[in-house]
Structure 1
Amino acid sequence: MYDIMIQNLLSPVVLFFVLGVVAALVKSDLKFPAGLSEALSIYLLVAIGIKGGMELSHYELHTVIKPIAGTLLLGITIPVLVLVALLAMKMDLHNSIGLAATYGSVSIVTYGAAISFLEKKQIGYEGFMNALVVLLESPAIIISLLLLRILHKTDSGDLLNAPGTPPKLGMNFSSFMNLFDKEVLRDSLLGKSVLLLMGSLIIGWLVGQNAESIVKPLFIDLYGSILILFLLNMGLIAGERLPEISKHGWKILLFGLCVPLIGGSAGVLVGNWVGLSLGGVVLMGVLAGSSSYIAAPAALRASVPEANPSIYLGLSLGVTFPFNLIVGIPFYFALAQFTH
């Protein structure tokens, strides 16, 4: 595993991420234009989606039922367990919900880096894994917001403001029907990342391999090079967020390092359970072990404004993201090899 970590650390995508972090820490004037940063995000979302759709066209529905079930299981279970752990650590409800949604959702770029890792080692994986990325985006957000409404409100009053008062879980039909407002549904299901991934996936599935000659030059051949630029920008953002994490103590830092390994290990076990190949098991581990900094923060800003972005976004980008690039991906790979 040590050799794998060294190889991954010395890969161009990781080194450019580190360069971005260093640039931010030394207060360099290196900045990405907002338009370019947005364009790189859109490119990665479309590339992952359309490649997954083209590969998905090769599979029949019965072959993907178990992987879909396993993905939904992870998407529902992880945010619940994260929330329970954080409340046990005496973190306030809103920030606990923010981290539950963030760590239950998925990092598209970590997934992309894992694909590059597997391709470098010439290890194949199921094409429908890209579809599972889309599937794992929203459940954690929806479940976390549902838990917030169950724990935080009934028809009248805030339950958790009274010390020692246990949450009252009973809700009438009217309360249940109002659990999700239009903004929550829009951010969870129709936000940029989910919409682009799902739309590109469907297009790739409809056109199949007939579109390969059109798609390949931009979305396949240039994928690794453009990922480098995106990770350089992510390094700049992560470096700016690192000081914010130090304000919240060692417990939150330990959380950002341990949860990916626990979630990723669960993903590897689920990947084996649903019968994925070695590459598929590694990617399932990456999906379960990564944390969102696109879809989940967008939904949280609109629906849980009380949650502190410097905690859930800073921890995701400043700690978990680089940890997964350097340690997490090699760890999930080694664990997948051991268990597969």
Structure 2
Amino acid sequence: MDIVIEIATTIVAQLQKPTLAFLIGGMMLAALGSKLEVPEPVYKFIVLLLLLKVGLSAGISVREANLVELAVPAALAAAAGIAIILLGRVTLARWRGVSEMDGMATAGLFGAVSASTLAAGMAMLDSEGIPYEGFIGALYPFMDIAALVTAIVLARLSAERKAARTLQGAAGGAATMTVGGGGGPGFDQGFGGDMIKGILVDTVRSPAISALLLGLAIGIFGRPESVYESFYDPLFRGLLSVLMLIMGIEAWQRLSELRKVAHAYVLYGIAAPFAHGLIGFGAGLIAHTLTGFSAGGVVLLSVMAASSSDISGPPTLRAALPEANPSAYVGTSTGLGTPVAILSIPLWIALAGAVIGF
């Protein structure tokens, strides 16, 4: 009972913090019909600065990190991303009224990582004085790329099998499906290694991953401490508050898109961040047991798992799965997944405090 009270108290206290206050404020403005808008170039510039900040911070820390202490959480982050996709495959993608392509695209977006949600989690831990590994930002690409590649490969494989069955039925059972051979109409278009390579290239070239990897590389191989401490770090919280305001407004606006798709997406958008966060929390506990991964690190791994990609994921999925309905996966992610994930951050802080202790 004491643990429940402690968790509830922590959640209430965190809801009053600037990060969540700006998110809720943005949703309230949109609900009241406010015409407040932030120009798209401003939004992109803020996201770029936040990603560079996270990448630089991670790169500076990676220079001094123990490779084993970094490798274990990285492997577990990738495993968590894949587990989220597999969970989505047996739940949402098989839900009556949900096409498997739309379900896998939605699962892919939820398995990938939201830079804004990760930044919000870092800001909350910083405000509470809770320490975490500086290299935590370097775990972002591992979970993000693993989830996107898994979702796209499984979706494309399922589509090819369906097409092959249709072709086989039309031909009276004469057609067969052979990977790389040519039974299904898509197998002769490079399904397999070439497709996976293309997905990896597109994901790495996406704005979010590119900016993050650039910051990471500069942090590792350069000496950016002076510009980091004088520019990026002081601006971090202020820029994040504006980003939360933008995301609150957009989240409310995106809710209308969910009317176009099955109610299953509403349930998934609400429940998935909590289920996925628990997967991340479990992965963090394993890393804590094996390498002494900090409680703050466990919180941020949970936050990454609970989040859904708002930058790198949508364009990657649009390119790789053009058949999927963006109203389904983007609406579910931005309209419900992102605000629920951000609002769930206090839960992971309270849970880590109760289970591990700060």
- Structure 2 equivalent of residue 264 of structure 1: 277
- Structure 1 equivalent of residue 151 of structure 2: 144
- Report deviation, 1:19: 2.1
- Relative to 1, partners in 2 of residues 1:10 and 1:149: Cα closer, same or farther, differing over 3 Å? same
- Structure 2 equivalent of residue 295 of structure 1: 312
- Relative to 1, partners in 2 of residues 1:170 and 1:50: Cα closer, same or farther, differing over 3 Å? farther
Alignment of 1:299-318 (within 5 A): 299-318=316-335
- Structure 1 equivalent of residue 215 of structure 2: 200
Report Cα offsets for 1:105-152 as digits up to 9, x if no partner.
011111111111111111100111110012222111111111012111
- Structure 2 equivalent of residue 165 of structure 1: none
- Relative to 1, partners in 2 of residues 1:156 and 1:96: Cα closer, same or farther, differing over 3 Å? closer
Q: Which secondary structure state, in structure 2, belongs to the residue aligned with residue 274 of structure 1?
A: helix
- Structure 2 equivalent of residue 108 of structure 1: 115
Structure 1 gaps, min length 5: 163-168
- Relative to 1, partners in 2 of residues 1:159 and 1:280: Cα closer, same or farther, differing over 3 Å? farther
1:52 matched to 2:51:
no
Which one-letter code corresponds to 1:54 in the other structure? I
| Contact 2:52–2:211 (Cα < 8 Å) also in 1 | yes
Report Cα offsets for 1:177-206 as digits up to 9, x if no partner.
466177634432221111111111111112
Q: Which secondary structure state, in structure 2, belongs to the residue aligned with residue 305 of structure 1?
A: coil
- Report deviation, 1:62: 2.3
Counterpart Cα distance in 2 of 1:76 and 1:104: 7
- Report deviation, 1:170: 6.4
Counterpart Cα distance in 1 of 2:233 and 2:94: 45
| Contact 1:82–1:100 (Cα < 8 Å) also in 2 | yes
Counterpart Cα distance in 2 of 1:177 and 1:278: 39
- Structure 1 equivalent of residue 240 of structure 2: 227
| Contact 2:79–2:143 (Cα < 8 Å) also in 1 | no
- Structure 2 equivalent of residue 7 of structure 1: 13
Structure showing greater Rg: 2
Which one is further off, 225-234 or 250-259?
250-259
Which one-letter code corresponds to 2:35 in the other structure? D
1:23 matched to 2:23:
no
1:213 matched to 2:213:
no
- Relative to 1, partners in 2 of residues 1:146 and 1:221: Cα closer, same or farther, differing over 3 Å? same
- Report deviation, 1:94: 1.6
- Structure 2 equivalent of residue 284 of structure 1: 301
- Report deviation, 1:8: 1.8
- Report deviation, 1:284: 0.8
Which one-letter code corresponds to 2:337 in the other structure? T
Counterpart Cα distance in 1 of 2:76 and 2:177: 29
- Relative to 1, partners in 2 of residues 1:78 and 1:212: Cα closer, same or farther, differing over 3 Å? same
| Contact 1:187–1:298 (Cα < 8 Å) also in 2 | no
TM-score (norm 1): 0.90
Structure 2 gaps, min length 5: 1-6, 170-175, 182-186
Counterpart Cα distance in 1 of 2:263 and 2:207: 34
Which one is further off, 239-248 or 229-238?
239-248
Alignment of 1:41-80 (within 5 A): 41-80=47-86
| Contact 1:187–1:295 (Cα < 8 Å) also in 2 | no
Counterpart Cα distance in 2 of 1:265 and 1:189: 27
Alignment of 1:315-326 (within 5 A): 315-326=332-343
In the alignment, which of 43, 46, 52 is matched to residue 40 of structure 1?
46
- Relative to 1, partners in 2 of residues 1:300 and 1:197: Cα closer, same or farther, differing over 3 Å? same
Counterpart Cα distance in 2 of 1:113 and 1:140: 21
TM-score (norm 2): 0.86
Identity %: 29
- Structure 1 equivalent of residue 353 of structure 2: 337
- Report deviation, 1:303: 1.8
Counterpart Cα distance in 2 of 1:18 and 1:95: 29
